[in-house]
Structure 1
Amino acid sequence: MRHTISIWRTLTAGLAGGVAFVLGTFVTFRTLGGSRQGAEGLLFDPDTQHPKVIAVWKEMEPLPRILDNPSLILAGLLLFGIGYAFLYRSVAPAWPAGLNRRAGRLGLVVWLGAVFGEFMGPFNVLHQPWNLSLLAWTFWAVCAFAEAYVIVLVLDRGRSRRERAAPLSARAAG
């Protein structure tokens, strides 16, 4: 018998994962990175950051939406969490069993999306230095893997050990 994950459980997992992602951004980019108005932090120190990044993020109008209208961006991050939960739900049967294996794969997918945006934006367009880009990519990893672990935990919780460990061919035959 194949265990079906409900839409509601998937939505719950996505929202919980999105919350984990948002909390990750709060700890990394806001607290350590200094992304809030009036703060410097690791990513916004004028001695190390390209002035273009600081100007676009903190000085030029209109300010980034996360500063100007944070609820819009936070809602978007929650929607991305829901999207990743549905993605995980669709590919999980093909992935090997185990929290770390599955969360690692999902975290990599989430991280690659975030790093692509960072690579094309701050690094490419705004000339952010390599070392600060690497730091930002590390911050994105914290957020991505926090989200992935929460999604996998919520969606895989309650599945029998035998079902989680069964190879794909055995599940397809059931």
Structure 2
Amino acid sequence: MRYNRWVTAGIAGSIGIFVANLVSQVLFFQLGEEILFHSDQQSDKLIAVMTQMEPLPVMETDPGVYMTISLFIGALHGGVFAYIRDSLPENTIKSGLAYGGILWVLMALYFEFHAPFNMFGEPLPLLGLELFFWVIVVSVEGVLISTLYDRFGNPGLIY
């Protein structure tokens, strides 16, 4: 059964970013916590912004608001995916990874350069670790969006 492609794209994007947020929590704040937030290598300014300076990040102080906004952004990611789907590889997994690559270049790369490196003085090796984590996060998001969209909203795809 096929559903409206735009509704499907929005739902797929919201699910994709929800799961990507969970993955990022594990990578950045569990696996990477010691080196990213408790290391002598890390910028004191970045640590202070994340853990001490008021107001603390919204994801800490009001996770409901943070997640609501994330779901909206995810729906937009899904809409962009639907818009460019025909330009991506035909294979669902490859298209999801390609879209994850697009997200990485347009979102993660600029964010890491602009905020942690530029504004908070994060050292390059830690920036590199975060960019690696972002590859995983956006790949998960892209593959989920692609899988859900192709399964439920892409009228041109035949199974």
- Pair in the same fold by TM > 0.5: yes
Structure 2 counterpart of 1:61, from 25, 34, 54: 54
CA RMSD of aligned residues (A): 2.0
Task: Please name the residue that 1:116 is paired with.
Answer: 110
Higher relative contact order (CA 8 A, sep 6+): 2
Alignment check: 8 A CA contact 2:46 2:120 kept: yes
Distance of 1:30 and 1:154 partners within structure 2: 28
Quick one: which amino acid aligns to residue 102 of structure 1? S
- Gap regions ≥5 residues in structure 1: 35-40, 166-174
- How far 1:96 sits from its partner (Å)? 2.6
Alignment check: 8 A CA contact 2:88 2:99 kept: no
- The total of aligned residue pairs comes to 155
Query: Post-superposition, which runs of at least 4 consecutive aligned residues in structure 1 deviate over 4 A?
Result: none
Quick one: which amino acid aligns to residue 16 of structure 1? I
Distance of 1:95 and 1:53 partners within structure 2: 37
- Gap regions ≥5 residues in structure 2: none
| Secondary structure class of the residue paired with 1:42 | helix
Structure 2 counterpart of 1:126, from 120, 144, 154: 120
- Structure having the higher Rg: 1
| Secondary structure class of the residue paired with 2:36 | coil
Alignment of 1:51-90 (within 5 A): 51-90=44-83
| Partner deviation per Cα, 1:54-97 (whole Å, 9 max, x = no partner) | 11111111111111222222222211211111111111122231
| Partner deviation per Cα, 1:8-35 (whole Å, 9 max, x = no partner) | 322221121121211111211121232x
Normalized per residue, the structure richer in helix is: 2
Structure 2 counterpart of 1:46, from 35, 39, 45: 39
- How far 1:136 sits from its partner (Å)? 0.8
TM-score (norm 1): 0.80
Alignment check: 8 A CA contact 1:18 1:79 kept: no
Alignment check: 8 A CA contact 1:98 1:164 kept: no
Quick one: which amino acid aligns to residue 12 of structure 1? I
Quick one: which amino acid aligns to residue 78 of structure 1? L
